[in-house]
Amino acid sequence: MIWEQLDAELAALKTDGLQRQRRVVQSSYGVSVEVEGRSLLSFCSNDYLGLANNAALREAATEVAARWGVGSGSSHLVCGHQAPHEELEQKLAAFAGNARALFFSTAYMANPGVAPALVGAAIPHVPTS
């Protein structure tokens, strides 16, 4: 059965010291993190600019969360585009010297949002008549 095969493969990974396990980080992310009571140097962060724990950004995030909450409700096309998002896009456009800007919540989300515009749609247009 498939379950016996999966169990055998997992056991082999464990025996070979290759079984991955999530570590519980007991601190905020930064150059160092606390794991199992030890302070460790972190080489795997996406916080390239060191902004995750910036005091001014934390204070601003607290103020924004108090006013706007911590969830979007849904996508901008379904629920609407909130005023803070619009303000951010306008400020980014002005900073970059462009007429418009489009904000994505993660770099990953920018890929499916931007790639089709750069290389064309993934699904070719099929005429209906």
* Digit-coded pLDDT (tens) for 56-96: 999 999 999 999 998 877 877 788 888 988 999 999 999 99
Task: Please state, in angstroms and rounded to a whole number, the distance separating the CA atoms of residues 44 and 40.
Answer: 11
**Residue 27 domain-assigned?**
yes
Inter-CA distances, 79 with 13, 100, 105, 122, 128, Å: 45, 21, 16, 26, 30
Among the ranges given (39-48, 94-103, 104-113), the one the predictor scored with the smallest mean pLDDT: 104-113
- Assess if residue 37 is contained within a domain: yes
Widest Cα–Cα separation across the chain: 67
CA-based Rg of the chain, rounded to a whole angstrom?
Answer: 22
Q: Does 123 map to a domain?
A: no
Which pLDDT band, with edges at 50, 70 and 90, does 128 fall under?
A: low
For the segment 10-41, what is each residue's pLDDT rounded down to a tens digit?
999 999 999 988 889 999 888 889 999 999 99
Residue 62 inside a domain? The answer is no
**Type of residue at 58:** R
Residue 89 lies in a domain: yes
In total, how many domains does the chain have?
Answer: 2
Range of the domain at 83: 73-106
| Residue 68 within any structural domain of the chain | no
Residue ranges of E strands in 30-74? 32-35, 38-41
